[in-house]
Amino acid sequence: MPDDRPPFLAAATFFVVVGWWATILLMGVTSLPDAIGWSGGAALWLVGVTTLVGLLVARGRWAQRLAAGLALLPVAIVSFLEPGWVSWVGIALAAVAGVLLLAPSTTEWIRPGRSMDAPPDDAVVLMLLLVGWPLVGAPLFVGGAWWAIVLWAGPLLAFWYGRAELAGLWAVRGGAVVLPVLAAIGSPWWGWALAAAIAAGSSYWAWREGARLAVVPLVNRPSSGVCPTPDFDKVVGGS
């Protein structure tokens, strides 16, 4: 059974780490182009808050692992900073957060398995990918390629898809191909490679069966009664 005591210390330290490094990016004190700093900082806040909710509310193992990964992000950011107390404090906070997030007390809080009403794993991964578009695609802003701003449609698509609407699923499937390509306009060759990776990864998860079942389940849930009845048209037709 999972521990009933939320890991508030680990969560608070993680929140401070995300806020610390997101603020550094937003303030433009790194050697990165301003556009990359602004988009990356705002996206880091968004992904961090999403992960924090997943850790404390959903108690998902994915949130624990993603939080630990984000805590290590300063290793990449610090190379664009002048050596000083700002970077050293950020690294120290990140190290403490990483230890606390992987500590047994945090692991015991995580659910040992999926709950009955939890969405399919494919749907969770897809939504995380969409929310993470602006963070992963921030380098596309290099050289003033402002087309990368379209990647901020990713979180909006995630919200639409999260409402369990079929139109949202089809918007994700179409947007996963079109939007990363638009974002790469004006980028060097590696920008196109990054956009292709974003499009390929998002499309792969958008077309998986679990992503569809999160929107169009094979079992109808009646408003009354105990046992749900299968929707045989969807089972046989597969749509």
pLDDT tens over the chain, length 239 residues? 555 788 999 999 999 999 999 999 888 888 888 888 888 899 999 999 999 998 998 888 889 989 999 888 877 787 777 778 888 898 899 999 999 999 998 999 988 766 666 678 888 899 999 999 998 988 888 765 677 889 999 999 999 998 888 999 999 999 999 999 999 888 888 989 999 999 999 999 999 999 998 888 755 444 444 444 444 344 444 44
Q: What is the pLDDT of residue 31?
A: 82
What is the rounded distance in angstroms from the CA atom of residue 37 to the CA atom of residue 43? 10
| Contacts for 61-68: CB closer than 8 Å, 24+ residues apart | 61/110, 61/111, 62/124, 62/125, 62/128, 64/101, 64/102, 64/106, 64/107, 64/110, 66/128, 67/14, 67/97, 67/101, 68/98, 68/101, 68/102
DSSP assignment string, 101-112: HTSHHHHHHS-S
Number of domains the chain is built from: 2
Q: Which two tokens stand for residue 20?
A: 């610390």
Conformation bin of residue 28: beta by default, left when phi > 0, alpha when psi is -120 to 50: left
- Sole residue written with tokens 């794993």: 121
Cα separations in angstroms, 21 against 75, 121, 205:
11, 29, 29
Q: What is the pLDDT of residue 80?
A: 79
The parent domain of residue 38 ranges over 1-115
**Same domain for 139 and 171:** yes
**Same domain for 238 and 124:** yes
Last residue of a domain, one of 115, 138, 169: 115
Q: pTM score, two decimals? A: 0.76
What is the rounded distance in angstroms from the CA atom of residue 42 to the CA atom of residue 77? 14
Q: What is the pLDDT of residue 96?
A: 94
For the chain, the first-to-last Cα distance in angstroms comes to 37
Q: What is the pLDDT of residue 85?
A: 85
What is the rounded distance in angstroms from the CA atom of residue 54 to the CA atom of residue 106? 13
**Same domain for 127 and 28:** no
What is residue 118's DSSP assignment? P
C-alpha gyration radius of the chain: 20
What is the rounded distance in angstroms from the CA atom of residue 105 to the CA atom of residue 163? 33
**Same domain for 142 and 40:** no
**Same domain for 222 and 129:** yes
Q: What is the pLDDT of residue 35?
A: 83
**Same domain for 55 and 9:** yes
**Same domain for 168 and 92:** no
**Same domain for 153 and 73:** no
In a 3-state reduction of DSSP, which class is residue 54?
helix
What is residue 228's DSSP assignment? -
**Same domain for 133 and 230:** yes
**Same domain for 178 and 128:** yes
**Same domain for 100 and 186:** no
Last residue of a domain, one of 84, 115, 146: 115
Last residue of a domain, one of 115, 150, 165: 115
**Same domain for 162 and 50:** no
What is the rounded distance in angstroms from the CA atom of residue 120 to the CA atom of residue 118? 7
